[in-house]
Structure 1
Amino acid sequence: MNNKVLITGITGFLASHITIQLLNKGYKVIGTLRSHDRNDSIKSTIETHTKNIHNLSFAVADLNDDTVWDAVTRDVDFIQHVASPHPRQAPKSDDELLLPAKQGTLNILKSAAKNGVKRVVMTSSLGAVAYGKSYEELEKTLSEEDWTDETNLADTTAYYRSKTVAEKAAWGFVSYENIDLELVTICPGAILGPILESDFGTSANIVISLMDGSFPAIPKIEFDIVDVRSVADLQILAMESPTAKGKRYIATAGHLTLKEISQILKGKYPNRKIPVTELPNFVTKFLSLFQPMLKSILLETHNRKTTNKKAINELGWVPTSPQEAVISCAESLFLNNILK
């Protein structure tokens, strides 16, 4: 297979899994990173999971630098746009996330259109679908037709607002610029599954916090969970399938409360001290006054019902179970010495 795929943010959790699957399918892959400092380490990581490492190359490109993407996207057939700012600490200003997420996406799309790229698959988020909602809206099952209201600050985070704004900007670009570039967006829930190195996705902190003694008791919150390998699979299905052109797909494998995640981990590691007692919501709200990072998880006290039927029915997607995503994440944290 001679098709060439550009993947943005190759050192990221999801992007490295997509890269492995693309290489194993015979694609040539160009991975972007902010500097060549990570070339050797990410190549070494990926090499342990594929025999086709010779088809991998790298390019330095920053999302905010609109001067580099014309060269980076030249002679590329497809783009997997995965990179997006996602800090571990809450940003001081929304603009720290919104501006680079939106402008970076537009920089890539403009260059892709100019260079005749066939299709861009953009990693969005369930945060662009299921938030900014009223209690009445949360009574229904949400689908790809639904959008987060980024103006509703009470039911969104800066990250969710950035993903919403960036995805809306992408659809606006391909709709109004009268171009042939095809766009597909994937909206995953909380991504777990096996981490490949110590530079792991932020969702893995869900498992870490339950197993490292961070919480003597657990907040009464819940998530849509999806395995990183399943998201990578869906991103590639969305790239290859003619059916996917111009569509959004929700990527979730099931819904778990934090208590259910704790019970899964307790079943796997019965001798480890893992909390299973839930905190009442009012206690979590009180603690959030002193720990600002807890404020974002207060949004997860609602069951935001979503459906993955579109990806399953249209693309034949078969997601790994959320239980497997939790267990494989935990196992990989020990393998990478993040947990002892």
Structure 2
Amino acid sequence: MKKQLVVVTGGSGFIAVHIILQLLQQGYAVRTTVRSLQKTALIHEMLANGGVTDFSALTVAEANLNSDANWNAVMQGATYAIHVASPTPNRVFKDEMEMIQPAVDGVLRVLTAARDAGVKRVVLTSAYGAIFAGHKNRTTPYTENDWSNLDAKNVHPYQKSKTLAERAAWKFIKTAGRGMELAAVNPVGVMGPVLASDYSHSNVQVQQLLDGQIRAVPQVDSGYVDVRDVASLHLLAMTAPQAAGERFLATTGETLSMLDVANILRVAFPALAAKLPTKTIPNVAVRAAAVFKPDLKMIASIVGGYAETSNAKAVKLLNWHPRSAKTAIVATAQSMIDLGIVHP
């Protein structure tokens, strides 16, 4: 029997490679896209570190979100598509549209090609950034019913790009989808095992903490979730009939401060305890520093903010049960030690 083909965009990314890993383990054929075929070796390395020994069901194709070229060919024969790739956020930019426009255009390119090729359902990797930004005086956990308020002051362009890209996807399905289905997954901070020394920006925080690069942490609360559970939620959203037309917040439902993360690592890795921070930075100091350091603007926009989230929908509708945030954080650190990225 011929394997069902799933297209996964951005195959060298942290979330994408874990999705590919689970798809191959579950017997799907996978075609993944990269901006450059030079990433093929890295994808194979990560999958091998994840336990894959047979690559015969995997093909790698070149396609760029900024260009129409090759997307129609990529989608041919696919039953499903999982759109994980997003243009890399440029932390320093002159105009916020530099971040927003490529994200929106990329989503529409992928959806158009998928629809024209007869793909049954697309799962979009959106973000918590499309849910929480711009809400003041919040007292109840964020859910899938929430959308970031882009009219509010100080919403970072990265959160705007995620919000507008997901909104564009839902509008496309409604007005031009011709029956193609869409589901969205909105992860909070993604932790879990990195599979190579080339890893995503979400894990840099753990590496910097363990290396002793951070002497004090900003007062930022966040939800966390394990990448393996984010991947499994994508697969559930891809196949479950009841997931069509729905968005799912990928979170454990726990909220941790950056100091909590440091304390979890301190207990789990006593040999590295002396390198880990014990102090926080006042919010006013973070905001003042961001005036002169553009790469701090995103952190400055969320310090002191409310960050409680609920995973009740994914648990109830899809029977999804994620690992704890602590398990995810410890797994991130352990994988970095195992790969020699961090030296205890």
* The 10-residue stretch of structure 1 (139-148 or 86-95) with the greater mean CA deviation from structure 2: 86-95
Shift of 1:246: 0.5
| CA-to-aligned-CA distance 1:235-257 (integer Å, 9 cap, x gap) | 00100100101000000112111
Q: Cα RMSD between the aligned structures?
A: 1.5
State the AA in 2 paired with 1:189: V
- Secondary structure at the counterpart of residue 144 of structure 1: coil
Q: Number of aligned pairs? A: 337
State the AA in 2 paired with 1:151: D
The residue aligned with 1:73 is 75
CA distance in 1, matches of 2:220, 2:200: 20
State the AA in 2 paired with 1:82: V
State the AA in 2 paired with 1:16: V
- Secondary structure at the counterpart of residue 342 of structure 2: coil
Contact 1:2 1:27 in 2 (8 A): yes
| CA-to-aligned-CA distance 1:186-232 (integer Å, 9 cap, x gap) | 00001011111122111112212222222211211111101111100
The residue aligned with 1:145 is 145
Contact 1:69 1:108 in 2 (8 A): yes
| CA-to-aligned-CA distance 1:162-206 (integer Å, 9 cap, x gap) | 111100000000011251100000000010111111221111122
Contact 2:218 2:303 in 1 (8 A): no
Shift of 1:147: 0.4
1:43–1:252 CA distance, 2 compared to 1 (3 A): same
CA distance in 2, matches of 1:336, 1:293: 28
Contact 1:128 1:163 in 2 (8 A): yes
CA distance in 1, matches of 2:297, 2:177: 42
The residue aligned with 1:262 is 262
Contact 2:45 2:196 in 1 (8 A): no
CA distance in 1, matches of 2:92, 2:31: 31
The residue aligned with 1:60 is 62
CA distance in 2, matches of 1:120, 1:227: 22
The residue aligned with 1:121 is 123
* The 10-residue stretch of structure 1 (122-131 or 178-187) with the greater mean CA deviation from structure 2: 178-187
Matched, 1:328 2:331: yes
- Secondary structure at the counterpart of residue 293 of structure 1: helix
Q: Percent identity?
A: 36
- Secondary structure at the counterpart of residue 339 of structure 1: coil
| TM-score normalised by structure 2 residue count | 0.94
- Secondary structure at the counterpart of residue 271 of structure 2: coil
CA distance in 2, matches of 1:220, 1:178: 42
The residue aligned with 1:163 is 162
Match of 1:319 among 314, 317, 322: 322
- Secondary structure at the counterpart of residue 255 of structure 2: strand
- Secondary structure at the counterpart of residue 6 of structure 1: strand
CA distance in 2, matches of 1:289, 1:112: 42
- Post-superposition, which runs of at least 4 consecutive aligned residues in structure 1 deviate over 6 A? none
1:248–1:206 CA distance, 2 compared to 1 (3 A): same
Shift of 1:142: 1.8
- Secondary structure at the counterpart of residue 271 of structure 1: helix
Question: Structure 1: where are the runs of 5+ without partners?
Answer: none
User: What does residue range 183-198 of structure 1 map to in structure 2 within 5 Å?
Assistant: 183-198=182-197
Contact 2:12 2:42 in 1 (8 A): no
Match of 1:97 among 96, 99, 105: 99
- Secondary structure at the counterpart of residue 277 of structure 2: coil
Contact 1:47 1:53 in 2 (8 A): no
Match of 1:293 among 289, 292, 295: 295
Match of 1:84 among 77, 86, 109: 86
Shift of 1:153: 4.1
State the AA in 2 paired with 1:143: T
User: What does residue range 25-40 of structure 1 map to in structure 2 within 5 Å?
Assistant: 25-40=26-41
User: What does residue range 217-256 of structure 1 map to in structure 2 within 5 Å?
Assistant: 217-253=216-252, 254-256=254-256
State the AA in 2 paired with 1:68: N
State the AA in 1 paired with 2:143: S
Question: Structure 2: where are the runs of 5+ without partners?
Answer: none
- Secondary structure at the counterpart of residue 85 of structure 1: coil
State the AA in 2 paired with 1:184: A
State the AA in 2 paired with 1:328: A
CA distance in 2, matches of 1:25, 1:337: 30
| CA-to-aligned-CA distance 1:99-144 (integer Å, 9 cap, x gap) | 1111111011111111110000000000000111122xx1222211
| CA-to-aligned-CA distance 1:260-313 (integer Å, 9 cap, x gap) | 111101101223221121222222223333433222112142122221100000
